[in-house]
Amino acid sequence: MAYEPTAGKRPPRVRRIRFDYPSGSLDRHYVDGDLVSSHLIAYLSATFPEGEEFFVRSVRAFADEITDPDLMREVRGFVGQEVTHGREHRVLNERLAQMGYPTRWEERTTHRILATYERVFSPLTCLAMTVALEHFTAVLAETLLTDERARRLLGSTEVRSMLLWHAVEESEHRAVAFDVYRSVGGGERRRIIVMGAIIALFGAGIAVHTAVSLLGDRTAYHPLVLGKSLARLRYSPFVARSVRRRVRDYLRPGFHPDDVDNTAVLERWTAELFGTDGSLADHLH
């Protein structure tokens, strides 16, 4: 299918940015003091370096088949952003490892799982996996950008700053892998079937790895603390009905990531973070 760019859409911008997490700058339970949420976010962060590399490889596998110059520019921006995301999450993961989170083990586990997928499945199916996971990350990213409750969970730490930057860039390039998949002949049936499997595996992976992470935290052995934290998770803005609805919308035939307009959200946060007086202007190099 020929590539048809969304009207007014700009190619993803690659930003040279650095974050720093000096010793003592983060509380042990850095997500609003919450036990389970802190371990869950640590696990997700641990999956990003290897995950981003998998995304880049799956898109680059079809580089020779991309002929549209606009899509080629989109891909270059996508690759640049994803490489930077992986680098910055590795820095965060190392800090979390020093705090007692099993992020090094989780990175190695993610690497083995994705390497197995690449051996077993075709390049087109791996690209379909990337498209599905990119939808997950875009929905979570835009939840962070649009829901004040989600941002309050992260307080005012450097983790909050990093995740806001990551969220903006995920929103900027949310349709790139999807457009590559469609332009190289990826069909609806494969796309939808793969997403169905990803929904099941993604949820199970989060549950299992968060549980393993909690086993290494003494606070998790206090039943009252653990129970309250699990109960609180049910009301997290990241699992709200609207978020689940957006994830499932991917299963609709004819779906496209740009069906939901995020122009105003991106304009707001690009200015707030990277404008002349933006909160992350001093992080840019």
Helices (H) and strands (E) in the chain, counts: 11, 0
Say which amino acid occupies 119.
R
Given a cut of 70, is residue 3 above it in pLDDT?
no
- Residues 179, 205, 119, 106, CA torsion sign: positive
Q: What is the pLDDT of residues 114-157, one digit of tens each?
A: 999 999 999 999 999 999 999 999 999 999 999 999 999 998 89
Average of pLDDT values for 38-56?
A: 97
Instruction: Give the pLDDT confidence score for residue 285 in this predicted structure.
Output: 84
Give the separation between CA 146 and CA 269, rounded to whole angstroms: 10
DSSP string across 13-36? PP--B-----TTSS-SSTTTT-HH
Whole-angstrom Cα distance, residue 160 to residue 156? 6
Q: Is the pLDDT of residue 26 over 80?
A: yes
Query: Residue 25: what pLDDT?
Result: 79
Of the listed ranges 19-23, 192-196, 208-212, the one predicted with least confidence: 19-23
Q: What are phi and psi of 32, to 5 degrees?
A: 55, 30
Angle between helices 123-146 and 188-215 (to 10 degrees): 60
Distance from C-alpha of 72 to C-alpha of 32, rounded to nearest angstrom: 41
DSSP state of 284: B
Write the pLDDT tens digit of every residue in 77-93. Answer: 999 999 999 999 999 99
Question: What's the whole-model pTM score?
Answer: 0.94
Q: Above 90 in pLDDT, residue 5?
A: no
In the predicted model, what is the mean pLDDT of the chain?
95
Which is nearest to 11 in space by CA: 68, 76, 89? 76
- Residue range 37-62: average pLDDT? 97
**pLDDT, position 8:** 61
Structure tokens of 83?
A: 């490489």
As a whole number, mean pLDDT of residues 273-284 equals: 95
